[in-house]
């Protein structure tokens, strides 16, 4: 028979007489609960942490241990992240067997199972706690406004092609024009055009405009990659809302060069 010793009164007895997972007998737990209720549901007990020596209210400690929450979190993190990455573990969900590096630190579930679980549970939780999520978002933004602003500007600068593609998709959606494209489509289009403007053959580099061959304001237009072309700023501004044929006529009228392959476009 397995026996335990109560940390409060020193009673030694079988595990059935103790609170599950704690070295605290049920009698001491009952007396503690009565004292807590008489105090109006609050505990004014003061404890000292065995790890850092901090003295504080019992509410800042873990359950009935003499370890404060901060020290407990540090210890748990050290325990979780000090695990041998080559240790073999088995997932309790899908029974996958692999190295500890393929599992969440300190967990017996593989990263794929945890990811799938999060995709199912997180949206439901957010939907059921919409007000809490919104309030937290507002509070977090107010507390980190400067840092988030700098971070956003840095991300936009590094991902300007994605930002512009997203803006074009949004405008097309507002105008009820079908289709969408990504930053990868624009990069691919730049390669197909050999980095040259469709009409004047000027080298584009990074200074180019993405033009809809059939403008969004015209019937039959789309926002698919097949209706896009890269132009230099001068050609795009002069093209305005003209379609391909109309712009070629405009270039002939102004005495601007028109290349053979544009005639067949």
Residues 71-102 have pLDDT tens digits of 888 887 777 777 788 888 899 889 999 988 88
Summarize the confidence of residues 218-226 as an average pLDDT. 92
Does residue 151 lie within any of the structural domains?
Answer: no
Are residues 181 and 251 both part of a single domain?
yes
Are residues 131 and 190 both part of a single domain?
no
With cut-offs at 50, 70 and 90, classify the pLDDT of residue 129.
very high
Handedness of CA 22, 26, 32, 37 (dihedral sign): positive
Number of domains in the chain: 3
Q: What is the pLDDT of residue 264?
A: 39
How far is residue 64's CA from residue 8's CA, in Å, rounded to a whole number?
10
Are residues 127 and 203 both part of a single domain?
no
Contact 230, 187 (CB under 8 A): no
Does residue 20 register a pLDDT over 60? yes
Are residues 175 and 135 both part of a single domain?
no
State percent of the chain over pLDDT 90: 48
Report the CATH number that the domain containing residue 225 is assigned in CATH. Answer: 3.40.1800
Are residues 178 and 134 both part of a single domain?
no
Does residue 56 register a pLDDT over 70? yes
With cut-offs at 50, 70 and 90, classify the pLDDT of residue 263.
very low
Please give the DSSP secondary-structure letter assigned to residue 18.
Answer: B
Summarize the confidence of residues 243-249 as an average pLDDT. 91
Summarize the confidence of residues 43-63 as an average pLDDT. 80
How far is residue 214's CA from residue 244's CA, in Å, rounded to a whole number?
7
Q: Which residue has the tokens 């304001």?
A: 217
Does residue 60 lie within any of the structural domains?
Answer: no
Are residues 173 and 227 both part of a single domain?
yes
Please give the DSSP secondary-structure letter assigned to residue 104.
Answer: -
Q: What is the pLDDT of residue 173?
A: 94
Are residues 127 and 206 both part of a single domain?
no
With cut-offs at 50, 70 and 90, classify the pLDDT of residue 41.
low
Of 106 and 12, the structure prediction assigns the larger pLDDT to: 12
Domain encompassing residue 94: 89-143
Query: How would you classify the pairing of strands 228-231 and 46-48?
Result: unpaired
Under 8 Å CB-to-CB from 58, ≥6 apart: which residues?
A: 43, 45, 46, 47
Are residues 196 and 243 both part of a single domain?
yes
Are residues 183 and 258 both part of a single domain?
yes
Which residues is 7 bridged to in the sheet? none
> In the chain, where does DSSP find H-type helix?
26-38, 69-81, 111-128, 130-143, 145-158, 160-174, 183-192, 233-239, 244-253, 260-263
Does residue 76 lie within any of the structural domains?
Answer: no
Supply the pTM of this predicted model.
0.54
How far is residue 180's CA from residue 222's CA, in Å, rounded to a whole number?
8
Residues 58-70 have pLDDT tens digits of 778 877 778 888 8
Residues 181-207 have pLDDT tens digits of 999 999 999 999 999 999 999 999 888
Does residue 66 lie within any of the structural domains?
Answer: no
Are residues 177 and 256 both part of a single domain?
yes
Q: What is the pLDDT of residue 265?
A: 42
Question: Tokens for 47?
Answer: 């404890």
3-state secondary structure of 47: strand
How far is residue 9's CA from residue 3's CA, in Å, rounded to a whole number?
15
Cα–chain-centroid distance for residue 262?
A: 44
Does residue 29 register a pLDDT over 90? no
């Amino acid at each position: 028979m397995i026996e335990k010793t109560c940390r409060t009164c020193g009673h030694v007895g079988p595990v059935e007489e103790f609170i599950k997972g704690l070295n605290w007998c049920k009698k001491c737990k009952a007396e503690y609960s009565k004292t807590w209720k008489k105090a109006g549901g609050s505990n004014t007990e003061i404890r000292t942490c065995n790890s850092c020596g901090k003295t504080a209210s019992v509410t800042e400690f873990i359950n009935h241990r003499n370890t404060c929450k901060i020290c407990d979190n540090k210890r748990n993190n050290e325990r979780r992240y000090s695990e041998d990455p080559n240790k073999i573990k088995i997932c309790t969900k899908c029974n996958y067997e692999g190295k500890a590096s393929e599992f969440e630190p300190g967990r017996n579930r593989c990263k794929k199972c945890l990811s799938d679980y999060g995709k199912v549970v997180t949206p439901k939780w957010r939907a059921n706690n919409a007000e809490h999520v919104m309030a937290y978002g507002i509070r977090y933004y107010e507390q980190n406004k400067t840092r988030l602003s700098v971070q956003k500007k840095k991300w936009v600068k590094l991902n300007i092609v994605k930002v512009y593609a997203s803006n074009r998709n949004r405008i097309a959606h507002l105008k009820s024009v079908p289709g969408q494209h990504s930053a990868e489509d624009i990069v691919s289009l730049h390669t197909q055009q050999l980095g040259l403007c469709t009409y004047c053959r000027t080298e584009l580099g990074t200074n180019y405009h993405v033009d809809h061959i059939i403008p969004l304001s015209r019937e039959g237009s789309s926002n698919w990659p097949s209706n896009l072309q890269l132009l230099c700023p001068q050609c795009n501004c002069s093209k305005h809302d003209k379609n391909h044929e109309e712009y070629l006529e405009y270039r002939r009228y102004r005495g601007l060069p028109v290349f053979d392959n544009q005639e067949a476009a």
